[in-house]
Amino acid sequence: MIALTLTEIAAAVRGTIRLAGDDTPETIVSGEVDTDSRAIAPGGIFVAKPGETTDGHLFVGRAIEAGAVLAIVEHPVDESVTQIVVDDVVVALADLARDVVARVRAHGRLRVVGITGSNGKTTTKNMLARILQDEGETIAPRGSYNNEVGAPLTMLRVTDATAFLVSEFGASGPGEIARLAGLVTPDIGVVLMVGMAHAGGFGGIEATTVAKSELVRAVGAGGLAVLNADDGRVASMAAIAEERGVRVRWFGQGASADVRGSDIEVTASGTRLTVTADGESLPLHLRVLGAHHVGNALASIATATALGVSLANAVARLETVELAERWRMQPLGSDRVRIINDAYNASPDSMAAALRTLAQIVGPGERTVAVLGAMSELGEYAGEEHDRIGELAVRLRIQRIVIVGTGARRMFLAAVGEGSWDGEAVFFATADEAYDYLLGELRDGDRVLVKSSNSAGLRFLGDRLGESFS
């Protein structure tokens, strides 16, 4: 975090200072901010956030041992560290992030990019950060820091030397993107796609569209909206941009896109395509697996070139990206048995895209195996969407369909009902049972997709399989 006095921090978070040791109201603090006492470094600020199972106030002492010099708390704790007492530490965290970003913007060259979408946020964020980091200091979320805690923590990492802040905005309900984006008023808002992810929390696809459009509404006047021309719901957000005096830059595969992908060829080593931006065309070998990442790459190129990066540099830097993120289309195993671990998140759209990728990358004499678990946060749509994925796996002629966990049982039943009655589809209640089966079932030439929502835990099954067949 930038250097601030205790008085300045207290004013930003609307809190009361309780001094300890030799501190005075003018003592300067500049360490990193975190809600995890295990991540605190010397000079850091610990935010004692209450949680569902524990309370950060219980870990202030541990944070002090790690080097914390300030704790932001909701009630005083009996520890020898200066504390700022606030009504709500999560609100205080947001207020501090807003203040810090505003200060850096006031006397620096900081440009802020916000990214949202039902799928692809983290991948696009990583791609864009890779392109921009050679242009100047770039701050982007670690992992999927995109909620009411993670997004402000990322914002608080900016310094006076930061050129680009790339923020990822996730949401499970209306108003969340508006609150997060409102902390920084992005110069550029990127909307990737609207799908069924978190539809249970939003109340359906149309409500999801409204929620994702909150980012376009948050872009400052004279700013830029980078929109997916291939997604009709995203494309409709251009009207909002026009109302707000925000320019639009399109990406997609259609001829009208400002940044367009064509001649797309999906292989086991990645995806090859031609990228055309503002009349210039270059080949791109995208090493991240899956045709569904083409849109993410185009969005990152559209944003980077709007920020002044040449197409040639954007393409060259993207070609160095081998992995979107751990557990996201992550190749494991070996050439003999290739495991694709994509079990960090799953929605109906990303599940379908991953299955299509599996079907596309198999070669002669190779076999497709899909290990699938439940998709979370679908609410009333969960049953029909699990049915749809089970049916799709059969229609794509996936040769072995392994369904894991009671939450995904309808996927198995749908696969059987669609025509997988000769043993192609099997069901296991636990990941351990599935692992034992797969150890005996997998053979040379198998290409194995492991896909589920984070809560299903299949990412660890993917890791075990990757190690076993490495």
Whether 190 and 244 share a structural domain: yes
120 annotated among ligand-binding-site residues: yes
Residues 6+ apart with CB under 8 A from 310: none
CATH number at residue 295: 3.40.1190.10
| Domain assignment present for 324 | no
Is residue 212 part of an annotated ligand binding site?
no
Question: What are the structure tokens assigned to 116, written together?
Answer: 């949202």
pLDDT tens digits, one per residue of 110-119: 999 999 998 8
Query: What pLDDT sits at residue 224?
Result: 98
Boundary residue ending a domain (269, 286, 318): 318
Report the CATH number that the domain containing residue 451 is assigned in CATH. 3.90.190.20
Residues 6 or more apart whose Cβ sits within 8 Å of residue 199: 205, 208, 377, 378, 379, 381
Residue 346's pLDDT is 86
Q: How far is CA 131 from CA 187, 277, 293, 410, in A?
A: 17, 15, 16, 42
Task: Give me the pLDDT at residue 206, please.
Answer: 87
Give a yes or no: residue 368 inside a domain: yes
Examine the domain organization and report whether 295 and 396 are in the same domain.
Answer: no
Q: Residue 119, annotated ligand binder?
A: yes
Q: Is 147 annotated as a binding residue?
A: no
**Buried-state track 71-80, b at ≥16 Cβ within 10 A, e below 16:** bbbbeebebe
Tens-digit pLDDT profile for the chain (470 aa)?
999 999 999 999 999 999 999 999 999 999 999 999 999 999 999 999 998 788 999 999 999 999 999 999 999 999 999 999 999 999 999 999 999 999 999 987 999 999 999 888 999 999 999 999 999 999 999 877 889 999 999 999 999 999 999 999 987 778 999 999 999 999 999 999 998 655 555 567 888 899 999 999 999 999 999 999 999 999 999 999 999 999 999 999 999 999 999 999 988 888 999 999 998 999 999 999 888 899 999 999 999 999 999 999 999 999 999 877 787 889 999 989 999 999 988 889 899 999 999 999 998 899 999 999 999 888 888 999 999 999 999 999 999 999 999 999 999 999 999 886 667 899 999 999 999 999 999 999 999 999 999 889 899 999 999 999 98
Give residue 198's pLDDT: 55
Q: Is 24 annotated as a binding residue?
A: no
CB 213 within 8 A of CB 393: no
Largest CA distance in the chain: 75
Last residue of a domain, one of 293, 318, 343: 318
Indicate whether 286 and 375 sit together in one domain: no
Helix H or strand E encompassing 390: helix 382-395
Whether 185 and 286 share a structural domain? yes
- Span 62-108, pLDDT tens digits: 999 999 999 999 999 999 999 999 999 999 999 999 999 999 999 87
Residues 289 and 223 in one domain: yes
Residue 96 in domain:
no
Between CA 438 and CA 412 the distance in angstroms is 16
Q: Please give the pLDDT value at position 197.
A: 58
Q: How far apart are the first and last CA of the chain?
A: 41
The answer to the question of residue 150 being in a domain is yes
Provide CB contacts within 8 A for 46, sequence distance 6+: 34, 35, 37, 40, 56, 59, 60, 63, 64, 68, 70, 71, 72
Q: Is 98 inside a domain boundary?
A: no
Please answer whether residues 144 and 124 qualify as being in contact, where contact means their C-beta atoms are separated by less than 8 angstroms: no
Sign of the Cα torsion 301, 306, 307, 312 reads: positive
Dihedral in degrees, nearest 10, Cα atoms 33, 38, 39, 40 = 50
Domain range enclosing 86: 4-91
Residue 192 and residue 277 in one domain: yes
Residues 131 and 255 in one domain: yes
The DSSP-derived string for 282-311 is: EEEEE-SS-TTHHHHHHHHHHHHHHTT--H
Given a contact cutoff of 8 angstroms between Cβ atoms, the answer to whether 82 and 70 are in contact is yes
Number of folded domains that form the chain: 3
